[in-house]
Amino acid sequence: MAKIPYLYEHLTWEEVNDAVRAGKCALIPVATIEDHGPHLPVDADVVIVSAICERAAQRAPDELVLLPCVRIGYSPHHIDFPGTLTIRWKTFVEYVLDITRSLAHHGFRKMLIVNGHGSNRPLMEMAARLTIVERPDVHCAFTSWWDLHDVQEVFNATRESEVTAHACEIETSVYLAVDAGRVKMDLARRDMTYQMSPHFWGDLVGRKPDASFKNPVWMTEYWSVDTQHGVKGDPTKASREKGERVIDAGARELVEIVRELRARPIKARAPHQAHAATPMWTAKT
């Protein structure tokens, strides 16, 4: 039995039409290139989100197509560390919007943006919103891989570090599961320079560093004041086995999300103005 193609860039234009007719969801991974400590390559965010999304596509090739990862995102606060590439936020949002606009033009009605970099989060949530504002005949949803319930549940059950944030136990574990030969574990080091307090804290997989802590308040300082080595957490606790469990859990839940999204009806708008209003927004060309 022939394998069902799931990589968007490997499809012919006729196969793209087939994917549209089948009602497949377009899965769009988004990341960036930036420092990840002395032990991880600067493509860590790209590698991690791509691995989770590809595992999802392998699980459900008849339900989704996987687009190439958007490799460079928004990361100006990391610029004090060499290797970081950043795109201006307006340019970045418009770039991703142009991708969703193109997909909608070709007939895709269901899209899921999967984020792999923290500072992309508000911008990709905006890109998903604006896709629907411009194209109310489309559903475009957004999530970050570390926000997935199954990822948090699986990792928190075995984690050994008090904080996971960047180039940490979880990110290093996933990279080890994907390509251990590119990870310099002999250079991995714990870094807890960041000053935490009840409202100023963060954890990728949502566990409070202290039971007395409350909801986190979001504030992004320059990365060089938060860390000495480009690490926030303890990558020395990472393992390939932990990473494999995270990839599998993330892929499993992404497939669940895709199935819910595909099943969700796209309802017609019902403007309530007393007059026939001119559309405020139209798709850009």
For residue 1, tell me if it sits in a domain.
no
Which residues form the domain of 218?
8-263
**pLDDT score recorded for residue 236:** 98
**pLDDT score recorded for residue 285:** 47
Cβ burial of 215 (10 Å; 0-12, 13-18, 19+) is: exposed
The three state secondary structure string of the chain is CCCCCCEHHHCCHHHHHHHHHCCCEEEEEECCECCECCCECCCHHHHHHHHHHHHHHHHCCCCEEECCCECCCCCHHHCCCCCCECCCHHHHHHHHHHHHHHHHHHCCCEEEEEECCHHHHHHHHHHHHHHHHHCCCCEEEEEEHHHCHHHHHHHHCCCCCCCEEECCHHHHHHHHHHHHHHCCHHHCCCECCCCCECCECCCCCCCCCCCCCCCCCCCCCCHHHHCCCCCEECHHHCCHHHHHHHHHHHHHHHHHHHHHHHHCCCCCCCCCCCCCCCCCCCCCC
| Residue 1 predicted with pLDDT over 60 | no
Return the higher-pLDDT residue of 190 and 2. 190
Percent of the chain with pLDDT over 90: 92
Terminal CA-CA length for the chain = 41
d(CA 227, CA 107): 45
Q: Contact, 74 vs 30, CB < 8 A?
A: no
Query: Quick one: pLDDT band at residue 188, thresholds 50, 70, 90?
Result: very high
For residue 50, tell me if it sits in a domain.
yes
- The residue-averaged pLDDT of 182-198 equals 95
Sign of CA dihedral 174, 261, 90, 10: positive
For residue 271, tell me if it sits in a domain.
no
- The two structure tokens encoding residue 169: 């136990």
Query: Quick one: pLDDT band at residue 237, thresholds 50, 70, 90?
Result: very high
d(CA 182, CA 185): 9
For residue 99, tell me if it sits in a domain.
yes
CA 230 to chain CA centroid, nearest Å? 20
Digit-coded pLDDT (tens) for 27-62: 999 999 999 999 999 999 999 999 999 999 999 999
Query: Quick one: pLDDT band at residue 283, thresholds 50, 70, 90?
Result: low
**pLDDT score recorded for residue 282:** 62
**pLDDT score recorded for residue 71:** 98
| Residue 224 predicted with pLDDT over 80 | yes
| Residue 231 predicted with pLDDT over 90 | yes
For residue 127, tell me if it sits in a domain.
yes
Query: Quick one: pLDDT band at residue 271, thresholds 50, 70, 90?
Result: confident
- The residue-averaged pLDDT of 186-193 equals 95
Digit-coded pLDDT (tens) for 93-119: 999 999 999 999 999 999 999 999 999
For residue 213, tell me if it sits in a domain.
yes
d(CA 219, CA 208): 17
| Residue 281 predicted with pLDDT over 70 | no
d(CA 9, CA 66): 8
Q: Contact, 145 vs 120, CB < 8 A?
A: no
The CATH number given to whatever domain includes residue 207 is 3.40.50.10310
The mean pLDDT of the chain is 95
Give the count of domains, the chain: 1
**pLDDT score recorded for residue 284:** 56
For residue 278, tell me if it sits in a domain.
no
For residue 270, tell me if it sits in a domain.
no
d(CA 139, CA 262): 9
